[in-house]
Structure 1
Amino acid sequence: MKSLDTDVLVVGAGPTGMLLAGDIAAAGLRVTLVERRPHGISNMTRAFGVHARTLEQLDARGLADELVSTGTPVTELRLFRRLTLDLDRLRTRFPYLLITPQYEVERLLERRAVTAGVDFRYGTELRGLSQDTDHAVAELTGPDGTPVTLRARYLVGTDGVRSAVRTALGLPFPGASVIRSIVLADVRLAEKPEGLLTVNGVGDAFAFVAPFGDGWYRVMGWDRTRQVPDSEPVDLDEVRAIARRALGSDYGMHDARWISRFHSDERQVPAYRVGRVFLAGDAAHVHSPAGGQGMNTGLQDAANLSWKLVAVLRGDAPDPEALLDSYQTERHPVGAMVLRSSGAIVRLAMAHGPLQRTVRALAARILAAVPAASAKALGMVSGLGISYGRNIRRVPDLELREGRLYELLREGEFVLIAPEGARPDPAPSPTSPARLIRATWTDPADRSTLLVRPDGYTF
């Protein structure tokens, strides 16, 4: 049996795992990433949208502009034919939802992780997991069936809804299936929809259509009258029929390159950390696809956790346990919020009784008529409105003497912004002052001092 050692073992090479692994390797630490699939990213994936806050996180890694070039920015969301949410009101470099397939996100994150020195091991499965005071010990099986023992100072499970890491920890995954027999298809259309992103529900059916920007469209649909197992075959005629009922047209769908059927759960693990083992992404929480928040929430989990692991592993954290515990404190409530918000959207879409339809119409009117309500909704869906308590809030992309803030954050360090000529010492923080990036306000009248975490939040 082979035995290996690493600083961090990441289990699961989806977007969450690759962003996390790339961050840690970029800090000069040893990272091993294992994935049970053989190497080769499928282009038939469910996630299709990247929200503004995720694009900011990718900007802090030098990836956002390239990703934007692969997709279609959507500046308004049309919901239930009664409500339009204007994303161009968002105060960010990315005031839109970027429609691009998940494989484009994975491609950029994998390239970054490889360049940073991540040790990828595809075709490798986790078979067992234990911990001692200094290490997490993973029992793995390689692609040729050879058993491998790998000792890591920390281990992160980013291995999806059927997480082997979560199972090995013995953690429950409470929740339930919310909606069954959802159909997905990538198709070409003979007719262009009225809006870039078209969504509607009529009680016993709902559907949305979103463009990838290359002539292909992602279609999702659900039919209350046809609730069948995921294994039941689905064809393009079924997708067309759902679209006609929910949207009034099938837009001449043809040449489907991929069709699938799946069900949607709402689940969240109670603990994101157990000793030296962490969970992130779908291994920690799974929810309905409404709002397109699944992949985005996982990527933001990774951005929150990676710098904390780096600070602890480099010996920069005055209180390592408190810093690592803050991952649970900060991200678990966000996962719960996403479950509530995405669940509310899908329930409104599924509304079929008179009372439920009245509630949906009332909610649409409130969001349309009350700017504060629509702004809050946009902030939650886009991720820009997420904060970690009263004092830890997102910092926008400030223009500084040294350049944009999110360009400075590409070094993976804290940024201390101060008035010109000032050299303040930062408040106690989980980083060595020697590793601070110091920056200066462009306005000489601004005499404040701001310490920005590597994930773009105040500290």
Structure 2
Amino acid sequence: MSENRDKDIDSRGVVVVGAGPTGLLLAGDLAAAGIPVTLLERRHPGRSNLSRALVVHATTLEALDSRDIAAPLIERGAPVRSLRLFDTAVVDVSELPTPYPYLLVVPQYETEAVLYERLERLGVRIRYETEVVGLRQDPDGVTVTVREASGTREERAAYVVGTDGSRSAVRSLLGVEFPGHTVVASVMLADAKLSHPPQTRIATNTDGDKFAFVAPFKDGYHRIICWDQKHAKAETEPVELAEVRDILRETLGSDFGMGEPRWSSRFHSDERQAERYRVGRVFLAGDAAHTHSPAGGQGMNTGLLDAANLSWKLIAVLRGRAGEALLDSYERERHPVGAAVIKGSGRLLRAAQIKMTPARKARNLAMHFALARPAVNRRIGFALSGLWITYPAPRGAHALTGRRAGDVALTGTPERLLEALRGGGFVLLAPPELHAVAAEAGVTAAVAADGGPVRLVRPDGYIAWAAEAPSAEEVAAAIAASGA
């Protein structure tokens, strides 16, 4: 970062409400850029050992790699390169065009631990037992009223981001609607050891009313997600070992020698999306903005990518490098992604809920033959992994604009684009004769080994601008317009 950019930082900073994965990543990005950040959490101090989310997908791992925190998370998880859907249908993700062609099965608390350790290194402390009870905006900033053990006080910030979950206080105070409905009641989670694990590392199946999903953790335990819609119980009821074993036997043919769980929980699953992700100086991200069924394991991943999209834009505006209009692009880019994830996970869930035996057999057979085709298998893999995400581009823009850049090989050091992005800024992939333009603007420049078009890559790994053979003036104009 150049010194002249640091001088422009808005000292009011950002208040982030909610210290789940989305809030932890966002606060870490802001702190790494030197932006003052306050992270508020209603819960008691300490990290939770609960683990609703269990899969980290390839696009998310790429985002973590660009922050140099993918490796410690991978060490805590179990890479899985295929999963079984609906009896004999298998999705193979091992050939996806990414450094991470697998699903990383890892408890949510481990993901949070890696993000929390990053925050500690950056000197950010979470203010626990702090509840947001009021919010008011004016042209210059936001005043947040919080209630703590010592009483009520006010926090002042340039911007506020609500990452405080599906029951978001920030969303409620904004008056933003959260339309949708419950799609599955009484979902049971359990982490247990299996004396005879499934042959496929991830196994899932359904008979319509009953559903089961089994995946391995690295420590020898397995995560089991299951439900029985005919015998749904209140969420306050404990999860019984016998009911989980019965569902496993009826859907997957075996209880796999399941032992007593070390942890279990019961909850309901909704499909909901906030009507707006931005209201003035206040933003919503993660579960505060969207919730969906556990099908596909998209929830936490979508929230983390919300944070990656929003953080660099807040940094650019707070530094005075971009105008407020850049912040409008957060909702424009991420709201359609949230809607698509809800739609996709909903389709998968409804396929799992087919009750008539002939229809289930037809579904299983159709899925088996469809996934035997490499093109279909690849398409499903893209949908699961997040590699499909593309953002809108201006009319007349190069075809690469808005697309994920991927981990482009570079000549020299660093050797990969994701490593070059670890500085938190834009990266210009261009021939050496254009590097002086980038240097003048404080942008990292590198030579792509593929010799492709000139590309200006955003901090979140997406292409802000591209051209086949631009002049130095065109490159300078693109950098200035991007907020780099």
Which residue does 2:406 correspond to in 1? 396
Shift of 1:18: 0.5
Q: Which residue of 2 aligns with 1:201?
A: 206
**AA paired with 2:234?**
P
User: Structure 2 residue aligned with 1:181, among 179, 186, 198?
Assistant: 186
The question of whether the paired residues in 1 share the 8 Å contact of 2:93 and 2:378 is answered with: no
Q: 1:435 aligns with which of 430, 442, 450?
A: 442
- Where does residue 287 of structure 2 map in the other structure? 282
Deviation for aligned residue 1:69 = 0.7
Distance 1:267 1:117 in 2: 35
SS at 2:84's partner residue? Answer: strand
CA distance, structure 2, for counterparts of residue 291 and residue 363 of structure 1: 19
Q: Distance in 2 between matches of 1:300 and 1:113?
A: 18
Distance change >3 Å, CA 184–CA 447, structure 1 → 2: closer
Aligned counterpart, 2:350: 347
2:33 to 19, 27, 32: 27
Q: 1:130-187 CA distances to partner (integer Å, 9 max, x unpaired)?
A: 1000111100012x24211001000000000100000100111100000111111111
Report the CA distance shift for 1:328/1:359 in structure 2 as closer, same or farther (over 3 A). farther
- Which residue of 1 is the match for residue 138 of structure 2? 132
Distance in 2 (alpha carbons) for counterparts of 1:211 and 1:300: 24
- TM-score (normalizing by structure 2): 0.89
Instruction: Letter of the 2:417 partner, please give it.
Output: L
Q: Secondary structure at the match of 2:324?
A: helix
| Residue type of the alignment partner of 2:263 | W
Deviation at 1:81, TM superposition (A): 1.5
Match of 2:151 among 123, 135, 146: 146
1:347-386 matches, within 5 Å, as 347-354=350-357, 356-357=359-360, 360-361=363-364, 363-365=366-368, 367-386=370-389
Q: 1:441 Cα deviation (Å)?
A: 2.5
Question: Aligned equivalents of 2:175 and 2:452: distance in 1?
Answer: 51
Shift in alpha-carbon separation, 1:129–1:371, aligned structure 2, 3 A: same
| Secondary structure of residue in 1 paired with 2:382 | helix
Which is further off, 38-47 or 366-375? Answer: 366-375
What is the number of equivalent residue pairs in this alignment?
A: 445
SS at match of 1:225: helix
Q: Secondary structure at the match of 2:435?
A: coil
Spell out, residue by residue over 1:393-450, the C-alpha distance to the aligned partner (whole angstroms, 9 max, x if none): 1011111123211011111100001113333747xxxxx953200111236xx26311
Amino acid at match of 1:116: L
Quick check: 1:6–1:150 contact (8 Å CA) kept in 2? Answer: no
Question: Residue 213 in 1 paired to residue 218 in 2?
Answer: yes
- Given residue 246 of structure 1, which amino acid in structure 2 is its aligned partner? T
How far apart, CA to CA, are the structure 1 residues paired with 2:49 and 2:178?
28
- Are the counterparts in 2 of residues 236 and 259 from structure 1 also a CA contact under 8 Å? no
Percent identity between matched residues is 53
Contact 1:420 1:441 in 2 (8 A): no
2:420 is the alignment partner of 1:408: yes
Amino acid at match of 2:301: N
2:286 maps to a residue whose letter is G
Partner in structure 2 of residue 324 of structure 1: 327
Determine helix, strand or coil for the equivalent of 2:441: helix
Aligned residue identity for 1:398: V
State whether residues 48 and 100 of structure 1, in contact with CA within 8 Å, keep that contact through their aligned partners in structure 2. Answer: yes
Q: How does 1:36-75 map to 2 (within 5 A)?
A: 36-75=42-81
Q: CA 1:6 to 1:111, structure 2 compared with 1: closer, same or farther past 3 Å?
A: farther
Question: What does the per-residue CA deviation read over 1:253-297, in whole Å, with 9 as the maximum and x for residues that have no partner?
Answer: 113111111111000001000000000000000000010110000
CA contact (8 A) 1:51 1:96 kept: yes
Q: 1:86 to 1:131 in 2, by over 3 A?
A: same
How far did residue 316 of structure 1 move? Answer: 0.5
8 Å Cα contact 2:91-2:380 kept in structure 1: no
Q: Offset of 1:229 from its aligned partner?
A: 1.8
Q: Partners in 1 of 2:245 and 2:392 — Cα distance?
A: 45
| Equivalent residues of 2:188, 2:267 under 8 A apart | yes
Q: Contact (CA 8 Å) 1:26, 1:117: kept in 2 or not?
A: no
Match of 1:422 in 2: 434
Q: Distance in 2 between matches of 1:291 and 1:204?
A: 18
Residues 87 and 27 of structure 1, relative CA distance in 2, 3 Å threshold: same
Assess, with a 3 A threshold, how the Cα gap between structure 1 residues 366 and 6 changes in structure 2: closer, same or farther: farther
SS for the counterpart of 2:226 is: strand
After superposing the two structures, state which structure 1 stretch, 365-374 or 188-197, moved more.
365-374
User: CA–CA distance in 1 between the matches of 2:378 and 2:220?
Assistant: 32
* 229-238 or 214-223: bigger deviation: 229-238
Q: Is the counterpart of residue 238 in structure 1 residue 243 in structure 2?
A: yes
In structure 1, the gaps of 5 or more residues are: 427-431
Q: For the Cα contact (< 8 Å) 1:419–1:448, is it kept in 2?
A: no
- Cα separation, 1, equivalents of 2:217 and 2:287: 23
Give, as a single letter, the amino acid of the residue that structure 2 aligns with 1:167. S
| Correspondence 1:335 to 2:343 | no
Cα 1:362–1:333 change in 2 (3 A) is farther
Deviation for aligned residue 1:362: 6.0
Structure 1 residues 414 and 363: alpha-carbon distance in aligned structure 2, compared to 1, 3 A threshold: farther
Contact 1:31–1:119 under 8 Å retained in 2: no
> What's the CA shift for 1:351?
1.0
After superposition, give the CA deviation of every residue in 1:316-353 in whole Å (9 maximum; x if it has no partner).
Answer: 11xx2221000000000000000011111111111112
Q: What amino acid is aligned across from residue 422 of structure 1 in structure 2?
A: L
State the distance in 2 between where 1:433 and 1:215 align.
Answer: 53
- Quick one: distance in 2 between partners of 1:108 and 1:233? 30
RMSD: 1.7
Which letter maps to 1:396? Answer: G
1:6-50 CA deviation, whole Å, 9 max, x = no partner? 400000000000100000110011000000111211212201110
Q: Deviation of residue 88 (structure 1)?
A: 0.5
SS of residue paired to 1:161: coil
2:84 aligned residue (78, 81, 99): 78
Q: Which runs of 5+ in 2 are unaligned?
A: 1-10, 394-400, 465-484
